[in-house]
Amino acid sequence: MENHELVALAKTAMERAYAPYSKFQVGAALLAKDGRVFLGCNVENASFGATICAERTAATKAVSEGAREFEKIAIVAGSGDYAAPCGICRQFLYEFMPDGEVILDSDEEGMKVVRLNDFLPMGFRGEDIK
């Protein structure tokens, strides 16, 4: 799956964002190593802390469907600017794609690819629990 196709799918997912509080819509499209694609959007809540980001929606959908190894994830925001994943999402994704790629898109500047490792250097992994 090409990066631009994954970005297009992330934009479709973004249309389903439930963001009545922040009005900041986010969409994600995650490619698992088995070839399946999982989409996610942010799902906000009146109790703000219960909000789930688009990336974690996609990741939990993938894992709950049996996909535990991810190749890459595209993330887009309604603002049309690059939407870097939040800290919690970096850590969450690191569990399943430590060597994976994050594809970001900006209306003005186009796509860019960032390694998750660069977003989260020296990330914490299960192997570190001894």
- The residues pairing with 37 across neighbouring beta strands, listed in sequence order, are 31
Shortest distance, position 127 Cβ to ligand THU, whole Å? 25
Shortest distance, position 71 Cβ to ligand THU, whole Å? 19
Shortest distance, position 75 Cβ to ligand THU, whole Å? 7
- The residues pairing with 101 across neighbouring beta strands, listed in sequence order, are 72, 115
15 is catalytic: no
Closer residue to ligand THU (CB): 9 or 26: 26
Residue 86 DSSP label: P
Residues that bind ligand THU (CB under 6 A): 19, 22, 24, 26, 42, 44, 51, 53-55, 85-86, 89
AA letter at 3:
N
Q: Catalytic pick from 2, 15, 44, 55?
A: 55
| 64: CB partners within 8 A, 6+ apart | none
Query: Exposure of 111 by Cβ count < 10 A (0-12 exposed, 13-18 middle, 19+ buried)?
Result: middle
Residues belonging to the active site = 55
